[in-house]
Structure 1
C-alpha cells in the first residue's frame, strides 16, 4: 500500500517529494544520481553562506561537529556521513521523500534514525523555503547528532512522541520540538548561541534570534513552551534558552502525562505574547 505524505500548516500545494519511492516506514534510498549540477551548486552556495555566519552565533557543539558533514561543494552521500555518525553516537540518517506523519517520525527517532529529505530547493527558493529540504536537514539538524547528550535527547524525544500520540498530546509535544530542536537558544559562557536547526540553517533567523533586539528570550519552561503557539511563515518572536544540553535532557526526561493534563486545561499563549495570560481561578 502506498504511503501518504504529511501535511503541516496551511499550503495551497501538496507536499513535494516522490512518496512512491518510500517503504512502509517512509524511508527510501537516496537518489543521488538524480541530483543535477544546479542542485549541487545550490547546496554549495547555501553551505558557504551559512558557514560564514555561524561562528560566534552557533553553539560550540555545532561548530565542532559541522566538518563531520563532509563535502561542502556538493550534496553529500548519506552513507559517507553515516560511517562517521554511527561511530560517534550510534545514530544514522535515513532518506525520506519529504515530510512524514508523526508515528513513523517518532519511531525513527526512537531507534536512533534521523529522517533526511533528499530533494533540494530550486534556485528561486534560495532565500526561503516552507518545507525542509536536504540542506535544512543536513546542515541544521545532523551536526548536533554527533554530540552524545543531544543525541540521547533526540532518541528520548522519539520515545516520548510515541507515548504522546497515544495520549492525544502530539500538538503539545510538537511545540517543544519547535522551540528547542528547531528554534532553541543556549547561553554559553561567552554569550548567547543558537542550537535549533531552523535558526542554524537560516541566515535571517540566525541574526534575528541571536542578535536582534525585538524577540523575547525566556528560560526554558516546559509548560510555558507547550502552551505557546508558533509561527511557520515569519521569524519567531519568542525563543526559549537553555544553559546546557544536559538541562534540555533533564527537563524532558520526566513523564509528561500529568504535564499534558495541566496544559490542556490552560489557555494557549500567542507566539508573540510577552507574558503569560492570567490563568483561570481554581
Structure 2
C-alpha cells in the first residue's frame, strides 16, 4: 500500500512551524492485532452509532475514506479529503494545543497514527488513529460543522496560555504515553494520574487557552446535538469510544443545553464524563464561539490583554480594526 502523504495545496501552504510536527505514516508498522482492534471497534461502533450519531456520521465515513475493515492510510484519506476541502497529516501523539488548533485553521486534520493497545480497546486517553480518524474525520464532511472547526482553529490558536497550561499539556502527554506503553509499572501510571489530577485541581484562574480548550472538549470531543430529550452524538471522543458512546445515552449522564458557560467547566480525561452539553444546531456552535472570541484579549485589547500576555511569556497577536494582525513577543 502506498503510504506517502499525497501533496495538495492545503499541505503546501502550511507554515514551517507546523510542518515540524508532521511524521510519515509507516503503514507496515501496523500488526495483524492492530488491524483486528480497528475492525472490532469500527464494527461495534458503526452498528451502534448508526442509531445514535448525527446523520452526518455514516455519510462522512464514506466521504473521508474511512473503511470498517482496515486502518486508513494517510495517502487515501488525503486523496478523498481534497474533494471536501480538507487534508490530513500524521503526528506523534499529543501536540501543543495552539498548534493543533492552527492546523484546523488551515483545514488540516491532525491524526495520531498510533493505535491503542488491545487492553485499551474501549477507551484510551492517548490520541490514536481510531479517535482522530474514525472520530474526527466523518463529521467534517458536514460543511456547517467543518466551518465551525476551521474557525475554532483560527480563534483558538490565538488564545493566550498560562504557565500552568503548559504544565498540564506536558502532564497529560506523559500520562498518555505511559498508559499506551507496554509493561509500564502501575506505580508510574498512578504517579502520572496524580500529577494530572493535582494540576486540574489547582489551575487557578482559567486562561483563555484553558477556557477555549474546555469549549473544544465539550463540542468537538464530547458534543451532543439535537434536543435534551433526543440528543445525537457528534463529538469525536464519543464516536471513537465503544463504552462511552453507550454510557452517554443513559440517564447516568446529565444533559445540559450548550452555552458559553461551558468555557468554565473543566473536565477529567481519565474518567467517564458525568455531564455533556447539547447544541441545537452546528450553526449555534459558531455563535457561541464568536461570543467567546469577543471576550478575548485579541479583540478587547487594553492593559488587561497586555498583562495576560506578559504573564504567559508567549507569542501574542494584536488584531487591528482593519483586520490586520501583528504578532509580537513579550518577556
TM range (shorter): 0.7 to 0.9
Q: What is the match of residue 81 of structure 2?
A: 85
Q: What is the match of residue 123 of structure 1?
A: 118
Shift of 1:36: 1.5
Shift of 1:166: 6.6
Q: Does 1:169 align with 2:208?
A: yes
Q: Does 1:228 align with 2:265?
A: yes
Q: Does 1:157 align with 2:152?
A: yes
Segments of 5+ residues of structure 1 without an aligned counterpart are: 1-21, 262-282
Q: What is the match of residue 28 of structure 2?
A: 33
RMSD: 2.4
| Structure with the bigger percentage of helix | 2
Shift of 1:30: 1.1
Greater shift in the superposed pair: 51-60 or 189-198: 189-198
Among residues 87, 94, 97, which one is paired with 2:92 in the alignment? 97
**If you compute each CA radius of gyration, which structure gives the higher value, 1 or 2?**
2
Say which SS state the counterpart of residue 108 (structure 1) adopts.
helix
Say which SS state the counterpart of residue 133 (structure 2) adopts.
helix
Q: Is the 8 A contact 1:176 1:225 kept in 2?
A: yes
Shift of 1:257: 4.5
Residues 129-185 of structure 1: per-residue CA shift (max 9 Å, x gap): 121211111111100111111111111111111221379510000000000001110
Separation of aligned partners in 2, 1:220 and 1:255: 13
Q: Is the 8 A contact 1:184 1:241 kept in 2?
A: yes
User: Normalized against structure 1, the TM-score is what?
Assistant: 0.78
Separation of aligned partners in 1, 2:292 and 2:263: 14
Q: Is the 8 A contact 1:156 1:253 kept in 2?
A: no
Residues 52-75 of structure 1: per-residue CA shift (max 9 Å, x gap): 110221011112212333432211
Shift of 1:190: 9.7
Separation of aligned partners in 2, 1:206 and 1:145: 19
Q: Does 1:74 align with 2:47?
A: no
Residues 182-226 of structure 1: per-residue CA shift (max 9 Å, x gap): 11101169932111111111122112212x11222111111x101
Separation of aligned partners in 1, 2:19 and 2:61: 31
Q: Is the 8 A contact 1:182 1:199 kept in 2?
A: yes
Give aligned pairs, total.
238
Q: What is the match of residue 248 of structure 1?
A: 285
Q: Is the 8 A contact 1:117 1:132 kept in 2?
A: yes
Segments of 5+ residues of structure 2 without an aligned counterpart are: 1-16, 163-206, 301-331
Q: Is the 8 A contact 1:183 1:195 kept in 2?
A: yes
Q: Does 1:193 align with 2:222?
A: no
Separation of aligned partners in 1, 2:276 and 2:254: 6
Say which SS state the counterpart of residue 177 (structure 1) adopts.
helix
Separation of aligned partners in 2, 1:259 and 1:104: 18
